[in-house]
Amino acid sequence: MDTIYKQPKKQILAKFSLLILSFFLSINSVSAQDGEKIFKQNCAVCHSLGSNPIVGPGLQGVISRVPSEDWMFKWIQNNEALIKSGEAYAVKVSTFSPAAMPSFTSLADGDIKAVIKYIKEYKEPAPVAATAASGATAPVEKPTNPLAILIGVLAFLIIIVAILRAVRYSLKNIQNAKKGLQNEAKVGVWKEFKNTVNAHKRTTALVIIFLLGGGLSSGWYALKGIGVYEGYQPTQPIAFSHKIHAGDNAIDCQYCHSGAERSKTAGIPSVNVCMNCHKGISKGPVTGKTEIAKIYEAAGWDPDKGAYTKPQKPIQWIKVHNLPDFVFFSHQQHVKVGQQDCATCHGDVKTMTTAVQVKPLTMVWCIDCHRATEVPGMQSNPFYEKLHKNLTEKFKNMPYDQRKITVDRMGGIECSKCHY
C-alpha cells in the first residue's frame, strides 16, 4: 500500500510540466479581443465574478474597490512589479492569499482592456445560472451566449411595449376628441405597469411562473454541462448494500476500506474480505441467494462442497468517485491527520443501498473546505497549545475569522499541493 507514495521522480516532473504547459498554453492562445473568453481561459480558475473567493477574491464590484481602471490594468499586467513599487492598495491586496497571482505580461494591451471591460460590465444572470458561471471548471464554449439572446429579446419587447403604448394614447385621444373630451393625462411607465399588473393578477402570476421555470431549467442544463459528476450512481456487478453492512450490521468502514488511515486510497475490499463472512452467510434479507452466489462465483467457492474448487476472478466494481489524474488527493492526510469524517465528503453512506457521489469534487469544493476548516490538533498538543495561546494574545485585535489557523493558512491552497 505504502508504495503508492513513491511516485518515480520522472513521472512527477512530467506531470508537473504538463500542468504548467497547459496552463500557459491557455494563457497564450488568446487572440480575439473577447473579454469573456480571455477571462474564462486565464482568470476563472482563481476568480469568480460573484462575491465568493476561489484562490483570489471574488471580482464582484471590484472596479469600485480598486483605485482606478489604470491600476487594474497595471495589476493584471504585472502585479509583482506593482506590489514592489509599494503602491498602497496593491500591497494591501497582496496579503489576501499566500498564493500569488501570476503576471500576464503575455497578454496584449487590448486583451487586458477587453477583460477589464468584461469584468466591469458583467451582470449576474439568474441566481441559478450564476452558480454554473462562477464554477472554476467552465471551459465549455456555448455556440451562442444565452445572456445575449435574453438581452436582445428584452430590448425587442421594450420597443414593442413602447410602440403599443404610443398607439394606445393616440387612439384614445382621437376617441376623446370625437366625444369632445380632454386628452388623457399621461401616467408614468411604472405607474401604468402597476395598474396593469393589478388589473391582471392571474396573467402576471402565470408569467412569473413561466419565467422561473425557464430560469431553473436552463440553470440545470448549464450545471449538467460542466463535467461535474455529483449524483453519479452506477449499477454495480454485485448489488452490494452499504445500508445492510455499515448500517444494519454496523460493520466499521475501515474493516473494508482499510487504506483510509494509512494510504492515499481508501481501497475497495478484495473478494477474500467478503468471504471472511460470506463463507457462512449465503442468504441475504433482500436479494436472497442470487447476489451472494456471485461472490462465490468470483471466489471460486463451491458452497455445497464447502471448498474452493475454481480459480478466483476479481469482482469488477465500477469506480464512483473519480478525480482527474492531475489532482493529488490522499485519504491519509484527510482521515488521519485532518480528522475529517467520511460522511463530510461521502455523505451518509450507512443509509445507501447503492453507493452514490454526493459532493461535486471540483476544485472550488476542495478549496472552500480548506479555507473554512481549522487544522485540528493545535489545541490537543501542549507545545502548539502554548504557542497558539501566545499568538492569539498577540493578534487579538484581528477579526476572529482571520485568527483561525485554517488549512489554507498552512499552504493548503498552493497549486503544487494538489497538482504535481
Task: List binders of ligand HEC among 13-32 (CB under 6 A).
Answer: 23
Q: Is the dihedral of CA 409, 412, 413, 415 positive or negative?
A: positive
Cβ–Cβ under 8 Å, residues 107 and 45? no
262: Cβ contacts below 8 Å, ≥ 6 apart = 1, 2, 332, 336
The three three-digit cell numbers of residue 400, written as one number: 476572529
In single-letter form, the type of residue at position 305 comes to K
Report the distance separating Cα 221 and Cα 125, nearest Å. 14
Q: What angle do CA 145, 146, 150 make, to 5 degrees?
A: 125
Question: Is 342 a binder of ligand HEC (CB under 6 A)?
Answer: yes
Q: Is the dihedral of CA 283, 287, 290, 295 positive or negative?
A: negative
User: In the set 30, 43, 82, 114, which binds ligand HEC (CB under 6 A)?
Assistant: 43
Judged by CB under 6 A, the residue of 239, 258, 279, 405 near ligand HEC is 239
Residue 35 in contact with ligand HEC, rule: CB under 6 A: no
For residue 261, what is its C-alpha cell? 488511515
- Which of residues 104 and 129 has its CB atom nearest to ligand HEC in the complex? 104
* Stretch of 8-16, 178-186, 188-196, 403-411 lying at the interface with ligand HEC (CB under 6 A): 403-411
Our CB check for ligand HEC shows the closer of 122 and 403 to be 122
Positions 130 through 189 that interact with ligand HEC (CB under 6 A): 137, 139
The only residue of 30, 49, 114, 115 in contact with ligand HEC, by rule CB under 6 A: 115
257 is an interface residue for ligand HEC by CB under 6 A: yes
Is residue 116 packed enough to be buried (19+ CB in 10 Å), middle (13-18) or exposed (0-12)? Answer: buried
Which residues ranging from 287 to 326 are in contact with ligand HEC (CB under 6 A)? 287, 291-292, 295, 317, 319-324
Query: Taking the mean position of all CA atoms in its chain, how far away is CA 73?
Result: 28
Residue 163 Cβ vs ligand HEC, minimum distance, rounded to whole Å: 41
Judged by CB under 6 A, the residue of 40, 334, 358, 371 near ligand HEC is: 334
Rounded-to-integer distance, Cα 39 and Cα 114, Å: 9
Distance CA 122, CA 172 (A): 42
What are the C-alpha distances in Å from 164 to residues 11, 158, 182?
Answer: 69, 10, 21
Nearest one of 228, 229, 223, 227 to 129, comparing CA atoms: 223
Query: Nine-digit cell at 186?
Result: 399621461
Which residue in the set 333, 384, 388, 403 belongs to the binding site for ligand HEC (CB under 6 A)? Answer: 333
Task: Report d(CA 403, CA 393) in Å as an integer.
Answer: 10
Residue 410 is a binding residue for ligand HEC (CB under 6 A):
yes
C-alpha cell at 355: 453507493
Distance between CA atoms of residues 49 and 62, nearest Å: 9
126 is a contact residue toward ligand HEC (CB under 6 A): no
Residue with nearest beta carbon to ligand HEC: 284
**Residue 166 CB, nearest distance to ligand HEC (Å)?**
44
For ligand HEC, give the closer residue by CB, 213 or 376.
376
Size of the site for ligand HEC (CB under 6 A): 107
Q: Do 38 and 115 form a contact (C-beta atoms < 8 A)?
A: yes
Q: Which residues 262-291 are close enough to bind ligand HEC by CB under 6 A? A: 265-269, 273-274, 276-278, 281, 284-287, 291
Residue window 45-84: x/- pattern of binding to ligand HEC, with contact defined by CB under 6 A = xxx-------xxx----x--xx-----x--xx--------
Cβ distance to ligand HEC smaller for residue 192 or 297: 297
Minimum distance, C-beta of residue 61 to ligand HEC, in the bound complex (Å): 9
* From candidates 240, 299, 301, 358, binder to ligand HEC by CB under 6 A: 240
Q: Please report whether residue 245 would count as binding ligand HEC according to CB under 6 A.
A: yes
User: Which residue type occupies 57?
Assistant: P
The torsion region of residue 123 among left (phi > 0), alpha (psi -120 to 50) and beta comes to beta
- Taking alpha carbons only, the member of 62, 131, 57 closest to residue 413 is 57
**471580482: which residue's cell?**
59
Q: Is 260 in the site for ligand HEC (CB under 6 A)?
A: yes
Q: Which of 49, 82, 93, 129 binds ligand HEC (CB under 6 A)?
A: 93
Name which position in 101, 133, 222, 299 contacts ligand HEC (CB under 6 A).
Answer: 101
Check binding of 362 to ligand HEC (CB under 6 A): yes
Least spacing, CB of residue 82 vs ligand HEC, in Å: 10
Q: Is 327 in the site for ligand HEC (CB under 6 A)?
A: yes
Residue from 61, 70, 85, 96 that binds ligand HEC (CB under 6 A)?
96
Residue listed under C-alpha cell 504538463 = 18
| Residue in 49, 126, 299, 345 binding ligand HEC, rule: CB under 6 A | 345
Residue closer to ligand HEC, measured from CB, 225 or 324? 324
